[in-house]
Amino acid sequence: MVKVRTKDLIEKFQLEVVCGKDGINRPITTSDISRPGIEMAGYFAYYPAERIQLLGKTEMSFFEQLTPDEKRDRMSRLCTDITPGIIISRDFEVPEELIEAAEREAVPVIRSSMKTTRLSSRLTNYLEGMLAPTTAIHGVLVDIYGVGVLITGKSGVGKSETALELVKRGHRLVADDCVEIRQEDQDTLVGSAPELIQHLLEIRGVGIINVMTLFGAGAVRSYKRITLVVNLELWDQTKQYDRLGLDDEKIKIIDTDITRLTLPVRPGRNLSVLIEVAAMNYRLKRMGINAAEQFSNKLTGVIDDGENEDM
């Protein structure tokens, strides 16, 4: 499914369409922006035609030095059947040669008043966000002390009830039941709620509640970076659960490894408090304070001292 089209850029950045309006529905498949300076010099061996082409002061001043035949040739080769659009920055006048080629190939020629570098940066940031890899996971996402905690587990294990208790304790709900996740960078996952269920929690026996209406705007947020996954599972007597926390378990979401904790669920365990403490402990670890390692080092030191005394 096409995520971004040229018309989306036009609407987002309020760009002026000079010509080639028939092509504004062309898909944009990459966040990379091309500034075809070397192409202006006539070298098209590696021309990235599938990218948005951005012409700034450098490209336009060089273009003015070309002969009339060279101008027609360069603009004709810039406009291909897969080029999503050509953007002129700084409100420069659009060359007639470009208008003729663009109308012939239905390539949108767009103009902006922004400086080239700033426009390129804003376009890239927008496209990277829109074209980032995405997935959806069944779970609940909560912002706990600034840590984005994704709570997962089988249906009925108590994820939504735990999230409700966390909201009552002052934390913020991002999404319940379905968490839409996009990878914005090599190791950055951002979660949000589908628009249909934004700010809603489903509690069995109570029904659907609107968290923002009940607890106020400070109890929700639109999106949050995911840094910790807490998996809830029913207590298994035959399973050995981690009691020290020395080894971090990882789970891969899209292309990013995220720390995952497994919390066994049984009567009498306050899951909201446990998850709250897990989030705080995760923050401490990132600050270089690891209680499990400190305990292990002390224990090793005591054992070593005892062995030395026996000798």
Q: What is the pTM of this model?
A: 0.73
pLDDT of 292 > 70? The answer is no
Mean pLDDT rounded to a whole number for the chain: 89
Q: Which of 58, 56, 98, 95 is nearest to 77 (CA)?
A: 98
Q: Beta-carbon neighbour count of residue 306 at 10 Å?
A: 10
The active-site residue out of 8, 21, 90, 177 is 177
Q: Is the pLDDT of residue 310 over 70?
A: no
Binding region for Mg(2+): 160, 202
Please provide the DSSP assignment of the chain as one string: ----BHHHHHHHHT-EEEE-GGGTT-B---S-EE--HHHHTT--TT--TTSEEEE-HHHHHHHTTS-HHHHHHHHHHH--TT---EEE-TTPPPPHHHHHHHHHHT--EEE-SS-HHHHHHHHHHHHHHHHS-EEEEESEEEEETTEEEEEEESTTSSHHHHHHHHHHTT-EEEESSEEEEEEEETTEEEEE--GGGTTEEEETTTEEEEHHHHH-GGGB-SEEE--EEEEEEE--TTSPPPSS--SPEEEEETTEEEEEEEEEE-TT--HHHHHHHHHHHHHHHHTT--HHHHHHHHHHHHHHHHHHHH-
Binding residues: 153-160, 202
Q: Is 288 exposed, middle or buried (0-12, 13-18, 19+ CB in 10 A)?
A: exposed
Catalytic residue among 71, 159, 199, 224: 159
Domains 6-131 and 134-295 share a fold: no
Q: Which of 243, 247, 252, 310 is catalytic?
A: 243
Domain 134-295 of CATH type 3.40.50.300 = yes
Q: Is the pLDDT of residue 285 over 60?
A: yes
CA dihedral 102, 108, 109, 111 (to 10 degrees): 170
Residues 174 and 224 sit within 8 Å (Cβ to Cβ):
yes
Cβ proximity of 200 and 211 under 8 Å: yes
Taking alpha carbons only, the member of 207, 46, 29 closest to residue 127 is: 29
209-218: pLDDT as tens digits: 999 999 999 9
**Residue position matching structure tokens 């999503």:** 84
Q: What residue segments make up the domains of the chain, in order of their start? A: 6-131, 134-295
pLDDT tier at 308 (50, 70, 90 boundaries)? low
Cα atoms in the 13 Å half-sphere on the side-chain side of 132? 23
| pLDDT for residue 255 | 85
> Is 57 one of the annotated active-site residues of the chain?
no
| pLDDT digits 0-9 by tens, 15-53 | 999 999 999 999 999 999 999 999 999 999 999 999 999
71 has catalytic annotation: no
Write the class of the CATH domain 6-131.
alpha beta
Q: Which of 3, 138, 204, 250 is catalytic?
A: 138
Residues 140-189: pLDDT tens digits?
999 999 999 999 999 888 899 999 999 999 999 999 999 999 988 778 89
185 annotated active-site: no
Give catalytic status of residue 199 as yes or no.
Answer: no
Using CA atoms, how far apart are residues 304 and 287, in angstroms rounded to an integer? Answer: 28
Q: With 0-12 CB in 10 A as exposed, 13-18 as middle and 19+ as buried, what is 100?
A: middle
Longest Cα–Cα distance in the chain: 95
> How far is the CA of 112 from the CAs of 14, 50, 123, 144, 174, in angstroms?
8, 20, 12, 42, 36
